[in-house]
Chains A and B, each alone.
Chain A
Amino acid sequence: KQEVTQIPAALSVPEGENLVLNCSFTDSAIYNLQWFRQDPGKGLTSLLLIQSSQREQTSGRLNASLDKSSGRSTLYIAASQPGDSATYLCACHGGATNKLIFGTGTLLAVQP
């Protein structure tokens, strides 16, 4: 059974700092891994999708990496801004199950 863990559960940083969010998963037989952003009381916005054959994906100030062999992914946010404050969720798709399995998220607060 796939289990996804995100560390830290919460993070507070000053504006402008670079930061890394961590995601680990137990079953490496995944099709892809997706990072989402969720603002309070809102739905999920997809940030980056990494296929199992890829090592990283970049979009603007965001960079996500994937290491299937170690069951880890990281989301790197460069030059953080107060507007980046949200909960960040990672989710794995595939392996023994045909659905996304989510971690519990990292609540990020960027202080102006």
Chain B
Amino acid sequence: DTGVSQDPRHKITKRGQNVTFRCDPISEHNRLYWYRQTLGQGPEFLTYFQNEAQLEKSRLLSDRFSAERPKGSFSTLEIQRTEQGDSAMYLCASSLATVGYGYTFGSGTRLTVV
């Protein structure tokens, strides 16, 4: 297993455009998490899935954000009508739904909105 993969690594987009990021978790992990990190801050939780069910969404996830995990494997995070404040590192992590199991993070997608 190659770990958690995220694509693309970097994305530059103009304000108002839509962007979509993809995350491929470790294959046997049934939980998948999205976090956002701005410069100098720790990652902030956005949402998580257990299998294909989206179980929790943060207040940070405005209605311009949508996440899916249609078959319980890879996930996509879409941001519609991007704003400059959306510029951040978007991190994906996966884990098992087992008490005490740790998280494995991907390399992240760096979004810059110009």
Binding site for B on A (CB under 8 A): 4, 31-32, 34, 36, 41-46, 49, 51-52, 89, 91, 93-94, 98-105
Residues of B within 8 A of A (CB): 6, 33, 35, 40-45, 48, 55-56, 89, 91, 93, 99-100, 102-108, 110
Q: Beyond the given A4-B42, A43-B106, A46-B104, could you list 18 further A-B residue pairs with CB under 8 A, ordered by the A residue number?
A: A31-B100, A36-B105, A41-B110, A42-B108, A43-B105, A44-B43, A44-B91, A44-B105, A45-B105, A46-B102, A51-B100, A52-B100, A89-B43, A94-B99, A98-B55, A99-B48, A100-B93, A102-B44
A89 to B44, CA, bound (A): 12
- Does the CB pair B42–A105 fall under 8 Å? yes
Evaluate contact between A102 and B43: CB separation under 8 angstroms.
yes
Assembled-state Cα–Cα distance A104/B43 (Å): 8
Q: Tell me whether B91 and A32 are in contact (CB under 8 A).
A: no
Complex Cα–Cα for A32 and B100 (A):
6
Interface of A, secondary structure class, is strand
B42 lies within 8 A of A98 (CB)? no
Residue of B nearest to A53 (CB): B100
Q: How far apart sit A102 and B108, CA to CA, in the bound complex (Å)? A: 16
